[in-house]
Amino acid sequence: MTLRDAAAQEAGQGPSSPVYVLSCIVTAESRPGEMLLGVRRGTAVSPRHPGVLSTMTMRIPEVLYRAVVGHDPSLYLSGRTEIICESPVVAIGSDSSNSLPTSYAIESLLARKLDLGHALSLGQLQASARLAAVAVQEVPDPQGGSPPEWTHMASFLIDITVGDGLIPSASGAYSRLTWIQGSKLGLAFSSHDALLLDDALDPFEVCISGLCIHSAVAVLEAH
């Protein structure tokens, strides 16, 4: 970390070159109380956090992050997760999705990380989405071995109204996709026990940690 970054961190702003991440807390009308999590694969284009139980996440450019958050990222203090109580609801899987930065970003994540591009293009998957939390934190990579990164994360609540049955059991980005009881997420996170959510997970492979789960817990507790 440079002297400039250290000064910025002390001032509560984080370093000068953070990464920007979109996180989707995916729920479905047909699955009351449940949410979707995935066990991350370490891939050539996404090597960080292999074996971590995660919400659906994807890095995005800063310019797109600014558009979906609607504010200058530097306004949010490091080390905090800010719950967004009121935010516009946007449609996912509609004929106007590509005209809105938020819909475009979320559909890109669903297509790339959940292999749902075909379903989206045919209108077979539809949902609503809204910004639920913004967090800024230094994120380590204990299982992947990469250095920590200061991360700006925007967490969106996604409620699938049509097509949740099209979500696969695994994808190119996730070795396992599983619907879990949201009410158990806080305890599983605090006890570092992913098996509380899905006892079919491999306890020697999977861990539950990270900013995306921390943010999801905060969002669920606020609702």
- Among candidate residues 214, 216, 219, 210, the one with its CA nearest the CA of residue 40: 210
Half-sphere exposure of 160 (CA within 13 A, CB side): 28
In order of 18, 73, 103, 126, 151, the CA distances from 62 in angstroms are 9, 9, 16, 26, 11
Each domain of the chain, given as residue ranges in start order, spans 20-222
Beta bridge partners of 36: 26, 179
CATH 3.90.79 matches 20-222: yes
Distance CA 186, CA 183 (A): 7
pLDDT digits (tens, 9 = 90+) for 150-175: 999 999 999 999 999 999 999 999 99
pLDDT digits (tens, 9 = 90+) for 43-73: 766 666 678 899 999 999 999 999 999 887 7
